Chain A
């Protein structure tokens, strides 16, 4: 269990993290999610010891590490831009932590081989970081962080510098890796889909504070406030309310409180269909439905429909 208690961190006048408390269960995969400037990276760096908090304490496995430098915290840290040691080969990068700890050479060699196998870089041991792709560099950085058997693995926007396809691959791969290695992991991301796909627990931050903590489903279905709702999934303005665009019922017949609207635009995204509607009083609302639903409604530009919020 990793606990950050009442953490405050200021940079000059700017309060980056404001009295934040989080608890990360042992063996879990937790996401610190939020827009840029929300304080998520700063909180991660406070946990790692790379930043000193102005207030609060950090406890890793019942050990108060608040005053300790990063060297003594038993952490592994992965940076957004890899922070590869450029003048060392892949295997030397991975061996770094073990060599600092003066482990016997045979043990180091064995462990490095295991880790390179785990991150699928066995054939690249003698290469230099400059000869690797972004995704490979980040896997190397992960192996390097795991080499020292950290109590907690901290990842700061680990896929942020990669292109969309590699990102998706690495995401799935990290999830599998976590299921294999079971090290308590905290990762920072601004991508809600990434957080929802990977994390057991999401801590959603905004302007230095925690807005809500919970599983992906809790945050999606029971958002604590409008910020959470609009950050964690698509929203549509329906009257005064924020609703999920798939929670708006569209039908061809009037029933009860439903309002009349004209279809202005239909976008087919494969399984999903989106439509922009104009209500009679001039307000606009967008809705999401499946391909089959759209086909049944015979949804076309200019057609008349009736909409109501799904109860």
Chain B
């Protein structure tokens, strides 16, 4: 009886994963390559698709480092320092998780668009790549902070204090003691940030203006292809997005075992 229950439990868990994750992903792959490798390759090497990939990679290349550095600083401030408004900061960090990306996009339009407070900048924000970067930074902001904060709390301050008594200054303490202790939390936060930056659709869609070959990211390109009944194009670009996500996860697992088996 007991054994039966265990198998039932596994069956439920695995079917859930299969139906909701594996099956849809598998179908995307199948549809992308339904006419063979050639058409799929052609679909992702059109000038528009190549440009969309470039835009997505550029957005990630700015948003991920920015949120990593900011996230670490913010986590240290929240855990290790006392300042007025700390609880507010702690709450506000989660805002992008709670807020619908469409709202974020509209907020950026209001701020940087025609008649907005920051309309007069030397470069275009709205309907241009800078706006897409900003929107992506906003929506992917909480991940590093949220991963690092609990680990910082858990390691406590004793190791840092010990380093201070041994003569290490602030930066040396961070580099030699604090960072090595939080690096896995940072790495995981980076993966989540990356995933969000690559996959963001709503906020980017609003601020980009969707000019093909200019302000189209890969996610927008997928939708645009789909709306134009170019299903192979849409699925092929989807596969590309999925590969980027998988590559991120693989990169993370490749690093990890080395550390833990020592």
Contact = CB atoms under 8 A, between A and B. Distances in A.
A96 interface: yes
B182 to A, nearest CB: 10
Interface string B32-73: 000000000000000000000000000000000000000000
B163 to A, nearest CB: 7
Interface string B158-173: 1101111111110010
Contacts of A141: 162
Contacts of A71: 164-165, 167-169
A87 interface: yes
B161 A79 contact: yes
Contacts of A69: 164
B167 A83 contact: no
Given A85-B177, A87-B181, A50 B167 contact: no
A243 interface: no
Interface in B219-237: none
A50 B164 contact: yes
Given A71-B169, A81-B158, A100-B172, A87 B180 contact: yes
Contact of A86 (B165, B166, B172, B181): B181
B158 A83 contact: yes
In the complex, which range does the number of interface residues on chain A fall in? 20 to 34
B180 A79 contact: no
A112 B29 CA distance: 58
B158 A77 contact: no
B167 A85 contact: no
B162 A148 contact: no
B159 A85 contact: yes
A144 interface: yes
B162 A77 contact: yes
A33 B180 CA distance: 36
B165 A77 contact: yes
A34 interface: no
B94 to A, nearest CB: 29
A101 interface: yes
A134 interface: no
Contacts of B10: none
A70 B166 CA distance: 8
Contacts of B166: 76, 96-97, 100, 144-145, 147-148
B80 interface: no
Interface in B238-262: 262
B167 A97 contact: yes
Contacts of A96: 163, 166, 168, 176
Residue picked from B158, B165, B262, most chain A C-beta under 10 Å: B165
B165 A76 contact: yes
A147 to B, nearest CB: 8
A100 B162 contact: no
Contacts of A84: 159
Contacts of B169: 71
B177 to A, nearest CB: 6
Given A83-B158, A87-B181, A48 B172 contact: no
Interface of B: 158-159, 161-169, 172, 176-177, 180-181, 262
Given A79-B161, A86-B181, 10 more contacts: A79-B158, A81-B158, A83-B159, A85-B176, A87-B181, A96-B168, A97-B167, A101-B167, A128-B262, A148-B167
Sorted nearest first, the 7 A-B pairs with minimum C-beta distance are A97-B166, A83-B158, A77-B165, A83-B162, A87-B180, A100-B167, A70-B165
